[in-house]
Chain A
Amino acid sequence: MKRLINLRPERAARLALSALPFAFVIGLYLVSSELRLAANPNDKLLPALPQLYAAIDRLAFTANVRSGQYDFWFDTLASLRRLVFGVGISALLGLCLGVASGVIPYVRAGASPVVTAISMVPPMAVLPILFIVFGLGEIAKVVLVVFGVAPVIVRDMQLRAMEIPQELTIKAQTLGASSWQYILRVVLPQVMPRLITCIRLSLGPAWLFVIAAEAIAATEGLGYRIFLVRRYLAMDVILPYVVWITLLALVMDHALRWLQKRMYPWAESEHEARPAP
């Protein structure tokens, strides 16, 4: 009997289906934009394609009159720098503390409850405190990302380290491994692919924190520009920026997945049983 779960679309059908929602949204946008602009040609809520193009041209390909820099790229670099530093530090912290916490019961007893508690604190709520303690510069923004992302990575690494089969642990100890050798030779290789997956998953929240931190106090950045022009309903700037952020996040996600496949091809995540989408 034919079952829905066994029907696989051909390549052409698959591509068409994946493009369909995007085409629908773009179509809906264009129709609504036309309707609004017909009623009010100066409407800023749903700009037409020429206006979007003009905004992109102005921001990305024309030097800012006052500062001489290309706003779009300058913003991108600034935000990316914050993101990479924040996620990088979180990953390092998460790896060290998470593995230690997962493998050494004494460390787990001390660290696990407090890390769990910190992971439950909404980072946006502590943002004012962070600004008071670290000032309004880059440090506070990076710390916000670390605050939001590191606890999750710590907990995930801890869980993964604890998941390592008992047999492997005993085997290593039978062969004479010390705690340090066990961590280095058995645990670390096993948790690294999981670390990369964890970083991929935390890119979303990390972007959120970068944007939020820039919205509060900044002189440049993607979030800074979005919130600055939000006052003036400049959707012709906001929409391209949002699409760009999404694109950047997608590219980073794919890059990390590629890295994981290259460095740890043996790591088969549960979701990778079928060809990846």
Chain B
Amino acid sequence: MTLPASRRPTLPSLRRALSGVLCAAALFASGAGHALAEPKKKFDVCWTIYVGWMPWDYAVSSGIMKKWADKYGIEVNVTQLNDYIESINQYTAGKFDACTMTNMDALTIPAASGVDSTALIVGDYSNGNDGITLKGKTELKDIKGQRVNLVELSVSHYMLARALETAGLTEKDITIVNTSDADIVAAAASPDVTALVSWKPQLAEINAMPGMTEVFNSSKIPGEILDMMVVNTQTLKDNPDLGKALVGAWYEVMALVEKKDPATLEAMARASGTDVAGFESQLATTKLFVSAAEAVAFTSSADFPALMKKVADFSFAHGLFGEGAQSVDAIGIEYAGGATQGDAANLKLRFPTEYMQMAAEGGL
């Protein structure tokens, strides 16, 4: 006797439901799959608006990026994101193959999350783009006992820690007030805010306010805050053409910047929301490695590991390596020539110079 419809076994629908669940779970996990890279033709790169990364916008709008991608037969999609931290998180989660970020964020976000990353291009270091401003006081040591507004755990915080070192103070002598960078200019206008750490263009606005004095800036710690283009190491290893295309496009735009080509500067200024004068004032406090040779020289210099060590020490001391990290050596960093710092069995951040070297020799 056939069972009525309501009593027939529901195995097929159960199976379908189960496979649906597994599909959804697979989608969730698809981000992880991205890390298992293989040779591919389409790449996603993201960046955010900052003076050191504006060349990427020009590379796209002028067709230079496409030219270089076509040269190697690949497709490179360059996306501008609004939120800097979001862009790094998206890269860490596997949605992008490459992202622009600072050296400290590269160490504490993707590297600390186990995403092996390579600093393909070391573009510049902050040479005054980040600064500490005091209201009503003129000396760095007057910061003692104050409440300091800044983006906590960012490069601003790192620079503050280094500044306090130089003045013989520690973080215990001040109180950190986490303030979003979007609102730090508004915060500066508030009467109960007397100390801030910010970066350009906000820094320029704050310095221009009455009663404000910049008491320290990143030019006093040159080479410690780097702006770079970071690529997933596995993806780069499987697809060296991506590296070549990115590096080639970058240094072609750099050549235009070096020549101070008016059209290039104008386009970059407009894209970053300012005028040429404003953009040039930001460029003035950015030490761009306009030539690949300069970048290679800096990255392969003997002092570079010591600078990165300072960043690593700060990051570890603030718990930015995550709970599992037992010491500052938990995350290994590899430098040009194979030298390593930290756990050599856990290399997660690399600073090779081969691609930049290829650009310097004109071999791209």
A binding-site residues for B, Cβ under 8 Å = 24, 27-28, 31-32, 35-36, 38-46, 51, 54-55, 58, 66, 127-128, 131-132, 135-137, 215-219, 224, 227-228, 230-234, 236
Contact = CB atoms under 8 A, between A and B. Distances in A.
27 contacts: A24-B21, A28-B21, A28-B25, A31-B21, A31-B28, A36-B29, A36-B32, A39-B32, A40-B35, A42-B113, A42-B322, A44-B112, A44-B113, A45-B31, A46-B28, A54-B323, A58-B323, A66-B171, A66-B172, A128-B183, A135-B190, A136-B187, A217-B178, A228-B153, A230-B85, A231-B85, A231-B154
B149 interface: yes
Contact of A135 (B32, B154, B191): B191
Contacts of B85: 230-231
Contacts of A215: 180
B340 interface: no
Which secondary structure dominates where chain A touches chain B?
helix
Contacts of B31: 36, 45
A35 B36 contact: no
B109 interface: yes
A44 B322 contact: yes
A53 to B, nearest CB: 11
Contact of A219 (B21, B109, B172, B177): B177
Contact of B180 (A32, A35, A66, A216): A216
B92 A131 contact: no
B320 interface: yes
Interface in B306-344: 320, 322-324
A31 B323 contact: no
Given A132-B189, A232-B109, A234-B322, 7 more contacts: A31-B21, A31-B22, A42-B114, A127-B183, A131-B187, A136-B187, A233-B113
A217 B28 contact: no
Interface string B176-197: 1111100100110111110000
Question: 4 closest Cβ contacts across the A-B interface?
Answer: A42-B114, A32-B28, A35-B29, A39-B32
Size category of the binding interface on chain B: 35 or more
A136 B179 contact: yes
B183 A131 contact: yes
Interface of B: 21-22, 24-26, 28-29, 31-33, 35-36, 85, 89, 92-93, 108-109, 112-115, 149, 152-154, 171-172, 175-180, 183, 186-187, 189-193, 320, 322-324
Contacts of A127: 183
Contacts of B187: 131, 136, 217
A218 B178 contact: yes
A132 B186 contact: yes
B116 to A, nearest CB: 10
Contacts of A31: 21-22, 25, 28
Contacts of A27: 21
Contacts of A233: 89, 92-93, 109, 113
Contacts of B32: 35-36, 38-40, 43
Given A28-B24, A135-B190, A224 B320 contact: no
Nearest to A137: B192
B53 to A, nearest CB: 18
A54 B93 CA distance: 22
A217 B320 contact: no
A28 B108 CA distance: 28
A217 B33 CA distance: 37
Contacts of B109: 231-233
Given A43-B113, A217-B179, A35 B26 contact: yes
B192 A136 contact: yes
| Residue of B22, B171, B187 contacting most chain A CB atoms (<10 Å) | B187
Contacts of B324: 42
Contacts of A43: 32, 113-114
B320 A232 contact: yes
A128 B153 contact: no
Contacts of A58: 323
Contact of B177 (A24, A55, A218, A234): A218
A116 B31 CA distance: 45
A138 to B, nearest CB: 11
A55 B323 contact: yes
Contacts of A135: 190-193
Contacts of B191: 135
